[in-house]
Chain A
Amino acid sequence: MTLTVFTALLSHWRRNWLQFFALIAGLALATALWSGVQAINAEARASYDAAAATLGEGQFDQLVPRAGGTVPQDTYVALRRAGWQVSPILEGRLDADRGRVRVLGIDPLTAPGTMAPVAMNADADLGAFLEGELVFANAETADRLEGQIPQRILIDEGIAPGIAVTDIGAAQRLLEADGQLSRLTLARVQPMGLPPLSAVAPDLTRQPAQDAGANRLTDSFHLNLTAFGLLSFAVGIFIVHGTISLAFEQRRGMVRTLRALGVPLRTLVVLTIAELVVFAVLAGAVGVALGYVMASVLLPNVAATVQGLYGAQVAGTLQLRPEWWVSGMAIALGGTAIAAAGALWKIAHMSILESARPRAWSVASGSGATRLGAVALGLFGLGAGIAIWGQGLLLSFALLACVLIGAALILPLMLRSAVGLAERLSTTVIWQWFWADTRQQVPGLSLALMALLLATAANVGVSTMVSSFRVTFVDFLDQRLAPELFVQIEDEARSAEVETVLRNEAREVLPLLSVETEIAGVPSDLFGVRVGPTYRENWLFLDRSGDVWSQVADEDAVVVSEQLARRAGLWVGDPVRVAPDVTLPIAGIVADYGNPLGQAVMSETLFRSIYPDQIATQFGVRTEDPEALTRILLDDLGLPPAAVIDQARIKAFSLSVFERTFTITGALNVLTLGVAAFAILMSLLTLASLRVPQLAPVWALGMTRRDLGRLELLRSVILALLTTLLAIPLGLLLAWVLLAYVNVEAFGWQLPMYLFPGHYAVLSLFAIVAAAVAALWPAFRLSRTPPSSLLKVFANDR
């Protein structure tokens, strides 16, 4: 009997292939979205890490020359022989015919941890590296170096663009810097009882590790991406729920008949579950594969090659990890279970005599929307309670969940209200009917519309978050890297000479004077700056009073970093003692992400009067032609290549990392909306057969099928528009909760939130277009319904 019944149950799908497709595709898409986001997140993290590893040895404290210039190799040996665990780094520019390359020389024997992700393998052994025979670079940099250097060049895409990593000895030869080093990194663990650094290397100064802030910045970014991964999953589950509910509604008749024929309810339920498990496994497999394809398509630099399938661990290649399969399948099965629970419950409790007519649409659903709205209000209340009294990361996520689910649940009520209002305001009979009919469609479409709501809200949220993150970071970079070149000289005696040359050749010269000091009990750097257009135009303040830079230039005020202000409990307007005899009010507060030290900025003239012995050895330089100026500095002044730093390249690399993130979020926008559109399409197709009895009387009373089709399309667009109008504030709320709440809980500081109305307009347009595209075919089908199908509604004897 079991087999017979199972066959009967399955026959439904054979005759409703579209629904079968919807179920499998819905589940597969939900799974794909989840696995894809997971993969993208993981790979994005990996590429950040690679960039961080080659660019910055920022995870370790560093010893740098106090007066700029280079570190003599003898100082390194002296430090080692005094017991200090330091490792040498030489960095400099190499002008190859096909472009400039930054050479980074390291000593792998003493380097703390893995500083450069250099992939050693059979044809790249450490011996050859130590002998100075190897250079590692990415393909583009390698191309620039090809034929220019005696070393063998090995491609490693994990290395930041424009950088070539080689042994310290080879770097000294390539850069003609024999016996010179740029800086030393300090191992975290040092032996006991060492002599003080100042005794061994008085010319070096210790620069603390930079990792704290920078890593927290990206960590917060990833946490937020993870949250949106979960959101994508929620969108998927709404779709699956919608599909399964509609499919089960349609099988009510079959279930009733089977039970009337004596099939026990238990058997039916068990078989239905078995059927769902089969579908979930099938769809899950398709979904994981889709997610893999999606991730590999989205990550152009990460080719998911055959190696991924065969388990070879190749850096920068997308891995087909078992966790993926497991989590993907779990999502498919779990999602199906959540989505089908209600439908199964209904079957289990359905009376044999109950009408087999699908009730997806029913005017009585008005009370259902009200009930959902009440639950939503409860969730909002709970969320407000968490927001006011709650603390901790977990509760922050609970707050997110309350907001999200609440918004989804209140959607039908809000749509009904909006459409009801439109109905009352409309005067012609057609429009009154249109709005009344639209209101009636809301329950049937509400699951698909909830998916659209969440998808659009997620897109708005992601867009806000990523853009805010980017604006913050780009501002920060602009502020700090505004000068095109950064010149650091070794010999204080040449300061004036260098400055004269720079003054003649550059648009603006910004000598940077600084001392390490303690301000308001916080270890800080005090800077003297030459206030000019660069500072006025590029520095952004978290808080300010009046024209900050003019006050600084007039020696009437100082600018301090957020860290200093917060730790010292000071804010704009408060006086702060920056030097033994100098107390000035704070005119502005600047963000200084990732710097554990405090920072205070005063005018150059004031600084020089306090510290007359300090001579500028660092200059920021504004120029239209950094290359020409660099040549002058190197050739005419004879500065070593390491003394001139091209800031544009550093900035460009940081930005290119963001661009990749943007490609990914852009693709996610399209995908989530695509999935939501799919949900709308499936709902409309499923509802199509139920629509005929609703539309036939209107047609019979004198409306053309074409008009009905047009109105059907318009209805979807209007519902999507209303949903989007709700989705924008919801997305902003989401972004706000993430940036202002989850971030604070996870990292202790708030990331400013910026609004991007243009993005939202485009996203709304996308959402509406997605809904319109989804509604196009059902509407077209309606406009081509043969009159005989419509007429069948009115008679029951043919």
Chain B
Amino acid sequence: MVLSVENVTKSFAGADGATPVLRGVDLQMQAGETLALTGESGSGKSTLLHLVGGLDVVDSGVIRVNGQDITEMDDTARAALRRSEVGVVFQQFNLIPSLTVAANIAFQARLSGRHDPTQVAALAKALGLTPHLEKYPEAISGGQQQRVAIARTLAARPRLVLADEPTGNLDEATAAEVLDQMLALVTETGAALMVVTHSQAVADRMSRHVHLSQGRLA
């Protein structure tokens, strides 16, 4: 099992006290599985993704990634988890602005010690990024930026890929193209993919679909 979420709760401090966002969520994912996570705005779908990715900590419950309980981890261990066990593609600002496209793609792989130049070249080629490798992120388009983020994630070969509205800022045609490429490459590596989206079109492309409502999975 790549991912196991058991009875996870999370609330955020707000103006009128703590607002519960997740009220006891359970979820499992197997290798090679693709999952669409949908829900209303503020339903907590991004929060769940952040918790699973080791970017935030649960209030209660247990999350296991590749069998490791990440809810017990300290900051350093969670950082290590982010480096090597999971890959995250956000809606925007994925890239490090001071590094070139090539350096961005290789970044996580080098951090996790899984850098393979041949693979980086292959990914770049597959995603059509070869002509842009020496450019800086601000010099390429939004679709290309998202492709770079995907390439970076896949270059690090994580078992679990998390994507938060990866095509949310893109036009329809580009979004479809990027999604295709991502699905193809993820399937190739055998990783599990969780996509947070509010787009039915995106959700329809996934093997499984869960809906988050009122802090619980429906």
The answer to whether A and B touch in the complex, with CB atoms under 8 Å apart, is yes
A contact residues vs B (CB 8 Å cutoff): 362-363, 428-430, 432-433, 436-437, 439-440, 693-694, 696-707, 787-788, 790-791, 793-798
Q: A428, A432, A790 — which one has the most chain B CB atoms within 10 A of its CB?
A: A432
Chain B nearest CB: distance from A549 CB in Å? 65
Chain A nearest CB: distance from B1 CB in Å? 22
**Given contacts A429-B110, A702-B83, A787-B56, A697 and B94 within 8 Å (CB-CB):** yes
Chain B nearest CB: distance from A415 CB in Å? 14
In the complex, A363 Cα to B90 Cα: how many Å? 22
Chain A nearest CB: distance from B18 CB in Å? 13
How many chain B residues touch A (CB < 8 A): the figure is 43
Q: A437, A697, A699 — which one has the most chain B CB atoms within 10 A of its CB?
A: A697
Chain B nearest CB: distance from A442 CB in Å? 11
A436 close to B98 (CB less than 8 A): yes
Question: Which residues of B70-128 have CB atoms within 8 Å of chain A's CB atoms?
Answer: 75-76, 78-84, 88, 90-99, 103, 106-108, 110-112
Q: Which residue of A lies closest to B138 (CB)?
A: A363
A788 close to B56 (CB less than 8 A): yes
Q: Does B55 sit at the interface, judged by CB under 8 A?
A: yes
B93 close to A702 (CB less than 8 A): no
In the complex, A428 Cα to B103 Cα: how many Å? 12
In the complex, A436 Cα to B107 Cα: how many Å? 13
A700 close to B98 (CB less than 8 A): no
**Given contacts A702-B108, A702-B111, A796-B91, A697 and B75 within 8 Å (CB-CB):** no
A702 close to B80 (CB less than 8 A): yes
15 further A-B pairs in the complex, CB-CB below 8 A; given A704-B75, A795-B164 = A429-B110, A433-B98, A433-B107, A440-B98, A693-B93, A699-B79, A700-B55, A701-B82, A702-B80, A704-B78, A707-B79, A787-B50, A794-B90, A794-B93, A794-B164
Residues of A within 8 A of B53 (CB): 700
B50 close to A791 (CB less than 8 A): yes
Chain B nearest CB: distance from A536 CB in Å? 63
Residues of A within 8 A of B82 (CB): 700-702
Residues of B within 8 A of A700 (CB): 53, 55, 82, 88, 90
Residues of B within 8 A of A796 (CB): 91-92, 169
Question: Which residues of B126-173 have CB atoms within 8 Å of chain A's CB atoms?
Answer: 136, 138, 152, 164-165, 168-169
Chain B nearest CB: distance from A705 CB in Å? 7
B110 close to A702 (CB less than 8 A): no
B107 close to A701 (CB less than 8 A): yes
B98 close to A701 (CB less than 8 A): no
B56 close to A437 (CB less than 8 A): no
B112 close to A702 (CB less than 8 A): yes
Chain B nearest CB: distance from A368 CB in Å? 15
In the complex, A703 Cα to B84 Cα: how many Å? 11
In the complex, A794 Cα to B136 Cα: how many Å? 18
**How many pairs of residues, A versus B, come closer than 8 Å at their CB atoms?**
104
In the complex, A702 Cα to B93 Cα: how many Å? 16
In the complex, A788 Cα to B136 Cα: how many Å? 27
The 8 A-B pairs of least Cβ separation, nearest first, read A702-B83, A794-B90, A429-B110, A702-B82, A436-B98, A440-B98, A704-B79, A437-B98
Residues of A within 8 A of B93 (CB): 693, 696-697, 793-794
> When the two chains form the complex, which single residue of A430, A697, A702, A795 contacts B91, counting CB atoms closer than 8 Å?
A795
Q: Which residue of A lies closest to B196 (CB)?
A: A795
**Given contacts A429-B111, A788-B12, A795-B164, A702 and B84 within 8 Å (CB-CB):** yes
Residues of A within 8 A of B56 (CB): 787-788, 791
**Given contacts A429-B111, A788-B12, A440 and B55 within 8 Å (CB-CB):** no
In the complex, A706 Cα to B108 Cα: how many Å? 19
B91 close to A703 (CB less than 8 A): no
Residues of A within 8 A of B106 (CB): 429
Q: Which residue of A lies closest to B12 (CB)?
A: A788
In the complex, A707 Cα to B169 Cα: how many Å? 31
A430 close to B111 (CB less than 8 A): yes
Residues of B within 8 A of A790 (CB): 55
Residues of B within 8 A of A437 (CB): 96, 98
In the complex, A694 Cα to B138 Cα: how many Å? 12
Residues of B within 8 A of A696 (CB): 93
Could you list 23 examples of A-B contacts with CB < 8 Å? A362-B138, A433-B99, A437-B96, A437-B98, A439-B98, A440-B97, A693-B93, A693-B97, A696-B93, A701-B88, A701-B107, A702-B79, A702-B81, A704-B78, A707-B79, A787-B55, A787-B56, A790-B55, A794-B90, A794-B93, A794-B94, A795-B90, A797-B41
In the complex, A790 Cα to B98 Cα: how many Å? 18
A794 close to B91 (CB less than 8 A): yes
Residues of A within 8 A of B103 (CB): 432-433, 436
Q: Which residue of B lies closest to A440 (CB)?
A: B98
Chain B 30-70 per-residue mask, 1 if CB under 8 angstroms from chain A, else 0: 00000000000110001000100101110000000000000
In the complex, A363 Cα to B100 Cα: how many Å? 11
Residues of A within 8 A of B98 (CB): 363, 433, 436-437, 439-440, 694
A436 close to B55 (CB less than 8 A): no
Q: Which residue of A lies closest to B112 (CB)?
A: A702
Chain B nearest CB: distance from A159 CB in Å? 65
A698 close to B110 (CB less than 8 A): no
In the complex, A432 Cα to B107 Cα: how many Å? 10
In the complex, A701 Cα to B106 Cα: how many Å? 12
A701 close to B46 (CB less than 8 A): no
> When the two chains form the complex, which single residue of A429, A440, A693, A795 contacts B165, counting CB atoms closer than 8 Å?
A795
Q: Which residue of A lies closest to B91 (CB)?
A: A795
A698 close to B91 (CB less than 8 A): no
Chain B 190-214 per-residue mask, 1 if CB under 8 angstroms from chain A, else 0: 0000000000000000000000000
In the complex, A362 Cα to B138 Cα: how many Å? 9
**Given contacts A702-B108, A704-B75, A798 and B46 within 8 Å (CB-CB):** yes
In the complex, A758 Cα to B68 Cα: how many Å? 56
In the complex, A707 Cα to B83 Cα: how many Å? 14
Residues of A within 8 A of B88 (CB): 700-701
A701 close to B83 (CB less than 8 A): yes
**Given contacts A794-B91, A795-B91, A797-B41, A433 and B96 within 8 Å (CB-CB):** yes
Chain B nearest CB: distance from A715 CB in Å? 12
Residues of B within 8 A of A436 (CB): 96, 98-99, 103
In the complex, A700 Cα to B91 Cα: how many Å? 13
Chain B 174-188 per-residue mask, 1 if CB under 8 angstroms from chain A, else 0: 000000000000000
In the complex, A725 Cα to B83 Cα: how many Å? 37
Residues of B within 8 A of A432 (CB): 99, 103
A704 close to B164 (CB less than 8 A): no
In the complex, A259 Cα to B98 Cα: how many Å? 33
In the complex, A280 Cα to B169 Cα: how many Å? 45
Chain A nearest CB: distance from B37 CB in Å? 14
Chain B nearest CB: distance from A797 CB in Å? 7
Residues of B within 8 A of A798 (CB): 41-42, 46
Residues of A within 8 A of B95 (CB): 697
Chain B nearest CB: distance from A719 CB in Å? 15
Chain B nearest CB: distance from A357 CB in Å? 12
Residues of A within 8 A of B90 (CB): 700, 794-795
Q: Which residue of B lies closest to A700 (CB)?
A: B88
Q: A362, A430, A701, A704 — which one has the most chain B CB atoms within 10 A of its CB?
A: A701
Q: B79, B84, B88, B110 — which one has the most chain A CB atoms within 10 A of its CB?
A: B79
> When the two chains form the complex, which single residue of A362, A429, A791 contacts B107, counting CB atoms closer than 8 Å?
A429
